[in-house]
Amino acid sequence: MAVDRLHPAVMARGTPLAACALGPARPGDLVGPCVPSCPQGPMRDASQSVRVPLQPSATASKRPHSWEPADVTHALDALCVSTPGLEAEVDQRVVHRAARRLRHFYERLAPVVGDREAALAVLAATDLLFHPVYFDGENSSSGQYLLSRFTTALLGLDEEADDGE
């Protein structure tokens, strides 16, 4: 996607890398593929940073030698085909589609920023997937389902081990 096709307001504030990696915007989008509207107001500096809870992507970035970026592609390929724990066909289709989108995001981003950073971006992007699915006896989002599978596959953290702690 040509960067010059983004809205001028986005260009003035700096083009987000994810916007370039996701591909062309839908017809009718004025700002870009992943920026619904132009943010207003001054940007924060480092002294005004907001503390966020620790995520698996942060855990993976702090322990870089405990996982391999190639495992992300293997996990995404497996999730595009098989979704353990999901019984409803609709839920399976939702998760398969989300896994394919994450795989496409990884393939577009990896040549630009590297395999490890692209894998971390995929882990962080799972929070943006919000379609409801039913697994493990409760309603949740497709992003939480994928994140639980990534946590098991990449970091070797078992859900049963988390319950015991």
The string of pLDDT tens digits covering residues 19-55 is 444 444 444 444 444 444 444 444 444 444 433 343 4
Over residues 76-93, mean pLDDT: 84
- Cβ contacts of 156 within 8 Å, gap of 6 or more: 66, 67
Does the pLDDT of residue 135 top 50, yes or no?
yes
Nearest CA among 65, 99, 64, 59 for reference residue 79: 99
Q: Which pLDDT band holds residue 102 (cuts at 50, 70, 90)?
A: very high
Q: Between 158 and 163, where is the model more confident?
A: 158
- Residues 116, 69: contact at Cβ < 8 Å? yes
Nearest CA among 93, 71, 83 for reference residue 153: 71
Over residues 96-115, mean pLDDT: 92
Does the pLDDT of residue 109 top 60, yes or no?
yes
Q: How many other C-beta atoms can be found within 10 angstroms of the C-beta atom of residue 156?
A: 10
**Can you give the pTM of this predicted structure?**
0.56
Over residues 85-95, mean pLDDT: 86
- Residues 21, 34: contact at Cβ < 8 Å? no
